Amino acid sequence: MTSPASSLLLDETHAPALQSWVVSANDPSTDFPIQNLPFGRFRRAGSQEAWRIGIAIGDQVLDLAAARRQAVWDAEVAELLTPLAEGDLNAFLARGAAARRALRLALSRALRQGSAQQAALQACLLPLAQAELTLPCAIGDYTDFYTGIHHATAVGKLFRPDNPLLPNYKWVPIGYHGRASTIGVSGQAVRRPWGQLKGEAPEPEFAPCRRLDYELELGAFIATANAQGEPLTMAQAEGALAGLVLLNDWSARDVQAWEYQPLGPFLSKSFASTISPWLVTMEALAPFRVPLVRSEGDPAPLPYLDSTINRSQGALNVELEVWLSTKAMRERGEAPVRIAESNFRDAYWTLAQMVTHHASNGCSLNPGDLLGSGTLSGPQPGQEGSLLEQTQGGKVPLKLPDGSERRFLEDGDEIVLRAHCGGTAGARRIGFGDCTATVLPALDAAYWTR
């Protein structure tokens, strides 16, 4: 198991003054400066090439299979590049944080201005505009948590105005097991699902979802495994984390309202989830760790969910945004509009607490498993991470600049999630890349009579 605080170390790769010979990586607005170096899986757009692992740098992707062949590396780095050259990010992640740090240092030095490897690596770059991206690694299992206390409170008020938070919320990180098989990557089209809906009539109906919603989340990838029956301590959980992606965990709110009692989400959540394609590592995120802040009077976590590191730097300063583009807006050539923003530091539970609790009963986690944060909302208006909150359950429509309104998503709507870390002294701004998906109409009713 990786050493406790291995993902918290700062080193020369984080220096804000570092510049790359990849000129676009030096643009202050890029999500992918040399201080980031996220992993993704790609191939040339329009080709049937094998998927391979790359590093995003500016507006380029560095092909690590080509880099393994073309450049000169010392034996340790060459060996670390081998599973990546074979397109197997899961196998690389399983090596833990020390391996990630070693490779990050080597790639940082190779991509810096004045690097002797520039000539060899120049030919290993592909413009991101010419790349097709897929899931960064194989996802074996998916669990979605409920760490956004402001989301939990706002939704709870819709159903329990006088007691929005259930008694267990401040004691246990709530989560449910989702479907890895329906996780797609940014750029996908999500078909409006059918499901059982219960209105005022005595019997439910089977119909297309009428209350389709997005959920603004982050997804955490597991790097190293624990054996079944061997829980993880908080210290071990820090080392078990690989990094983060953006996550849109779509919800069919009307299906959810009818089906979720007594066992929780099922078909209202399993029809689709969308993640951003670039895995931003815990090493890249290290400068943006911040103290975990709880409200006065909140209970202290039970000892298995507590640690000095978690209290002092367990939270993350990740600024999140939701953008909406309607079909009519795109036809008129109009840009998307931002409809919400929030920050991950407002989450009630940290990543390490999520991992520790998940494994606390002896549940085994494996490289490539994905943990969703739950909807990340803030305490102020305009910081809602879903339309369910923003429209108060559909009662108060969201008004768009062109005069149109949304209570829930309509066919043709495109949702774009964005995130970045910045505003930290002595740290270079880094981002996640977009997480985009478009709503397709539901299947025609005739489909069910075939």
How do 370-372 and 142-145 pair as beta strands? parallel
Between CA 450 and CA 116 the distance in angstroms is: 64
Between CA 154 and CA 98 the distance in angstroms is: 41
What is the residue extent of each domain of the chain? 6-134, 142-449
The DSSP code for 308 is H
Q: Which of 151, 357, 358, 420 is catalytic?
A: 151
Q: What angle do CA 66, 71, 73 make, to 5 degrees?
A: 115
Beta-carbon contacts of 438 under 8 Å, excluding residues fewer than 6 positions away, are 188, 189, 190, 412, 413, 414, 415
Residue 81 near residue 96, CB atoms below 8 Å: no
Between CA 438 and CA 250 the distance in angstroms is: 11
Residue 151 designated active-site: yes
Q: How far from 300 is each of 29, 152, 306, 341, CA to CA, in Å?
A: 39, 19, 8, 28
- Asked if the bond preceding 167 is cis, omega within 30° of 0, the reply is no
Per CATH, 6-134 and 142-449 having the same topology is answered no
Beta-carbon contacts of 209 under 8 Å, excluding residues fewer than 6 positions away, are 192, 193, 194, 195, 197, 252, 253, 254, 255, 442
pLDDT in tens, the chain (450 residues): 343 444 568 999 999 999 999 999 999 999 999 999 999 999 999 999 999 999 999 999 999 999 999 999 999 999 999 999 999 999 999 999 999 999 999 999 999 999 999 999 999 999 999 999 999 999 999 999 888 889 989 888 887 888 888 788 899 888 888 999 999 999 999 999 999 999 999 999 999 999 999 999 999 999 999 999 999 999 999 999 999 999 999 999 999 999 988 888 899 999 999 999 999 999 999 999 999 999 999 999 999 999 999 999 999 999 999 999 999 999 999 999 999 999 999 999 999 999 999 999 999 999 999 999 999 999 999 999 999 999 999 999 999 999 999 999 999 999 999 999 987 778 999 999 999 999 999 999 999 998
CB atoms within 10 A of CB 262: 4
Whole-prediction pTM value?
0.95
The whole-number pLDDT of residue 97 equals 96
Q: Is 20 helix (H, G, I), strand (E, B) or coil?
A: strand
Between CA 57 and CA 55 the distance in angstroms is: 6
Between CA 128 and CA 112 the distance in angstroms is: 19
The amino acid at residue 26 is N
The whole-number pLDDT of residue 284 equals 98
The whole-number pLDDT of residue 8 equals 66
Which one of 3.40.640.10, 3.50.50.60, 2.70.240.10, 2.30.30.230 gives the CATH number of domain 6-134? 2.30.30.230
The whole-number pLDDT of residue 159 equals 76
The whole-number pLDDT of residue 4 equals 41
Look up the CATH architecture of domain 142-449: Alpha-Beta Complex (3.90)
Beta-carbon contacts of 113 under 8 Å, excluding residues fewer than 6 positions away, are 19, 20, 21
The amino acid at residue 166 is L
